[in-house]
Amino acid sequence: MTQAATANKGNSKPRLSDELSNDTLLGWLRSMQLIREFETRTMQAYQQAKIGGFCHIYTGQEACAVGTIGSVNHDDPVVLAYRDHGHALARGMDPKACMAEMYGKAAGCAKGKGGSMHMFDKPNHLYGGHGIVGAQTPLGTGLAFAARYEWEVLGTGSKKVCLCYLGDGAIDQGAFFEAMNLAALYSLPVIYIIENNGYSMGTAIHRHSANSENLLARGQAFDMKSVKIDGLDILNVYDQFKPLVDECRDLQRPAFVDFKTYRYQGHSMSDPQKYRTKDEVDEFKAKDSIANLLDHLMNERECIDEDSWKAMRKELAAIVRESVEFSENAADPEPGELYTDVYANPQPNLSPTAEYRHGAKNPLL
Ligand SMILES: Cc1ncc(C[n+]2csc(CCOP(=O)(O)OP(=O)(O)O)c2C)c(N)n1
Ligand SMILES: [Mg+2]
């Protein structure tokens, strides 16, 4: 039997995801489980006060990062908000660089200067990790402008699509409307993905946003193709998202996605979660995206069994453990690093001593 035929066992209507190979889907399962394991260890390290600053956990939302990033090319740019560890790992960031960033170590992806909210990885075309709600949306428009300019005017690249993620709490930021307007006006290839987990910190979406049942109206107002996606089933994500990517790439047009998802943990590491019930969380856990995909691969495609799943989890746990050990033993940044990567243009007057201002120790001079 072919893989596609096996994939469709018990499902009479053919789906686009039937064409995905077993290897691809096992890779997605692996990637989602890596994120989950990584986040569990991140929480532990935070509770042990080894990680400081703000820290937002992605557990529950894995199918969004893995399914959407899995639907684009590696050189399509990605930009996002602060709940960013999952996307960084899905994009291929080394878990050691990701964990070391949270530990504030020099080996971190942003040299330990950004922390949890600022995962950057230029070789993997990941342009952050941004802490100001909505601030990444004009950047997404700009990345799409650059991509189209390179392809159409300079003739140096191929047609690209930028993925720009934002939370439901960012949808009413003024900058987002300006970003959407320019993207539509200039016909730029950017997909704004609203990771709609239903809450902006402790405020439910219907309490913070007008017409929240119909977010697609926001995209449609700018004449963008606007699609609602049930983000708990990664096969469904691919079925709906991949054609949208193909269309945006082909036509070099923007699009808007209301991506329904759910976070299992609190907003950040200090959140008493008084705004929701345990029953609500359990209801979503019962529809868990990793369990869903595992069930499909075990029972429909029959390409993984209990033993190999156990082995996969063990291997991933070891990779994450190694990233923690690496981060604990890694070196702190040199004090002089405080003055690098801050401004594009040197600001010598901000350096604390004459030696730094005028001497060889100032890396800016
Ligand atoms: C401009 C701005 N306003 C307020 C905040 C404080 N703040 C941090 S996270 C957050 C909630 C955003 O929620 P959402 O966009 O839904 O993302 P989620 O945490 O659900 O992933 C707020 C209001 C901020 N960082 N930036
Ligand atoms: Mg939210």
For the chain, give the mean pLDDT.
93
Do 235 and 301 meet the contact criterion of CB atoms below 8 Å apart?
no
β-pairing, 225-230 vs 255-260, is: parallel
Average pLDDT for 116-143: 98
Number of compact structural domains in the chain: 2
> Over the stretch 263-294, which tens digit does the pLDDT of each residue have?
999 999 989 999 999 999 999 999 999 999 99
Burial-class residue 213 by CB neighbours within 10 Å (0-12, 13-18, 19+).
Answer: exposed
The pLDDT of residue 346 is: 59
Same domain, yes or no: 104 and 152? yes
The pLDDT of residue 308 is: 98
Which of 82, 84, 201 has most ligand 1 atoms within 8 Å of its beta carbon, as the pocket-test mutant? 201
The pLDDT of residue 345 is: 59
pLDDT bucket at 125, cuts 50 / 70 / 90: very high
> Over the stretch 22-43, which tens digit does the pLDDT of each residue have?
999 999 999 999 999 999 999 9
Q: Which amino acid is at 270?
A: S
Nearest residue CA, atom 18 of ligand 1?
A: 167
Q: How far is the CA of 326 from the centre of ligand 1 (A)?
A: 31
Burial-class residue 338 by CB neighbours within 10 Å (0-12, 13-18, 19+).
Answer: middle
Same domain, yes or no: 163 and 96? yes
Element (H, E) at 42: helix 22-47
Same domain, yes or no: 73 and 136? yes
Same domain, yes or no: 263 and 349? no
The pLDDT of residue 365 is: 44
Provide DSSP, 175-236.
HHHHHHHHHHHTT--EEEEEEE-SEETTEEHHHHSTTGGGTHHHHHTTT-EEEEEETT-HHH
Q: How far is the CA of 170 from the centre of ligand 1 (A)?
A: 7
Residue 168: pLDDT above 50?
yes
> Over the stretch 53-93, which tens digit does the pLDDT of each residue have?
999 999 999 999 999 999 999 999 999 999 999 999 999 99
pLDDT above 70 covers what percent of the chain? 90
Same domain, yes or no: 160 and 298? yes
Least confident window among 41-50, 105-114, 341-350: 341-350
Same domain, yes or no: 229 and 253? yes
Does the C-beta of 83 come closer than 6 Å to ligand 1? yes
Same domain, yes or no: 269 and 354? no
> Over the stretch 298-344, which tens digit does the pLDDT of each residue have?
999 999 999 999 999 999 999 999 999 999 999 999 988 887 887 66
Same domain, yes or no: 10 and 43? yes
Same domain, yes or no: 199 and 338? no
Distance of CA 46 to CAs 99, 101, 327, Å? 11, 13, 13
Same domain, yes or no: 266 and 307? yes
Residue 186: pLDDT above 80?
yes
Nearest residue CA, atom 17 of ligand 1?
A: 167
DSSP state of 269: S
Does the C-beta of 60 come closer than 6 Å to ligand 1? no
pLDDT bucket at 355, cuts 50 / 70 / 90: very low
User: Who's near 9: CB < 8 A, 6+ residues apart?
Assistant: 300, 301
What is the pTM for the complete model shown?
0.93
Residue 16: pLDDT above 50?
yes
The pLDDT of residue 2 is: 44
Same domain, yes or no: 356 and 328? no
Residue 139: pLDDT above 90?
yes
Do 81 and 166 meet the contact criterion of CB atoms below 8 Å apart?
yes
The pLDDT of residue 339 is: 78
Average pLDDT for 171-178: 98
Same domain, yes or no: 246 and 361? no
The pLDDT of residue 358 is: 47
The CATH number of whichever domain residue 74 belongs to comes to 3.40.50.970
DSSP state of 13: S
Which of 164, 194, 200 has most ligand 1 atoms within 8 Å of its beta carbon, as the pocket-test mutant? 200
Average pLDDT for 89-110: 98
Looking up tokens 């109206």 gives 217
The pLDDT of residue 341 is: 82
Phi, psi (5° rounding) for residue 79? -140, 145
pLDDT bucket at 5, cuts 50 / 70 / 90: very low
The Cα 81–Cα 117 span in angstroms is: 7
Structural domain for 124, as ranges: 3-333
Average pLDDT for 2-6: 49
Q: How far is the CA of 41 from the centre of ligand 2 (A)?
A: 22
Phi, psi (5° rounding) for residue 163? -100, 120
| Atom in ligand 1 nearest the alpha carbon of residue 135 | 1
The pLDDT of residue 23 is: 98
Average pLDDT for 257-268: 97
Residue 150: pLDDT above 60?
yes
pLDDT bucket at 154, cuts 50 / 70 / 90: very high
